[in-house]
Amino acid sequence: METHLMDAHAHRLRVLVVDDDSEVATSLGFLIEILGAKVAIAFGAAAAMKVAQEFKPDLAFVDLEMPGEDGCQFVRMLRDSPCDCGHPVCVCLTGREGVLVEERCMKAGFDGFVRKPLELDALQFMLTECRRRLGVH
């Protein structure tokens, strides 16, 4: 019985939240945990690279506009890193709108684009879809 519980816990979806706004990152992380995923939070791109190397996320929600490296630069670093950071599905989370912003994000390597504030239904859908793709429950 204990082994089964440990195995179920070991296969939880791993989600990285990257945002320079600690309230936004913490709130989103809390919601994701409530929805059953394991969460790591990083405040900025440099910290997120270190976290990704250890945490190896399945999914990453990344703020577009951060001081220093922005979300696009972070995703490029993550995708090009010689370190094993996992191969997360990366979703840009931003208040910006427009086709040019979305195109820039997709060229940088983002897999999806979502506007803030992130609706709970949309978050649940993304977590479910990521679990389905990965075969993680």
**What's the pLDDT tens digit per position in 28-68?**
999 999 999 999 999 999 999 999 999 999 999 999 999 99
Give pLDDT, residue 69.
95
> What integer pLDDT is reported at residue 97 of this predicted model?
86
Tens of pLDDT, residue by residue over 70-126, are 999 999 999 998 888 888 999 999 999 889 999 999 999 999 999 988 999 999 999
User: How many structural domains is the chain composed of?
Assistant: 1
Q: Is the pLDDT score of 134 beyond 60?
A: yes
How far apart (Å, rounded) are the C-alpha atoms in residues 57 and 42?
A: 12
> What's the token pair of residue 33?
């945990």
Angle formed at CA 34 by CA 61 and CA 70, multiple of 5 degrees: 15
Contact yes or no for 83/53 (Cβ under 8 A): yes
Q: Does 10 or 113 have the greater pLDDT score? A: 113
State the Cα–Cα distance between residues 66 and 56, nearest whole angstrom.
22
* Phi–psi pair at 75, nearest 5 degrees: -65, -40
- The CATH number that applies at residue 49 is 3.40.50.2300
The residue-averaged pLDDT of 122-135 equals 92
Q: What local confidence, expressed as pLDDT, does residue 10 receive?
A: 52
Check residues 10 and 35 and name the one with the higher pLDDT. 35
User: Could you tell me the residue range of the domain that residue 112 belongs to?
Assistant: 2-134
pLDDT score at 101:
94
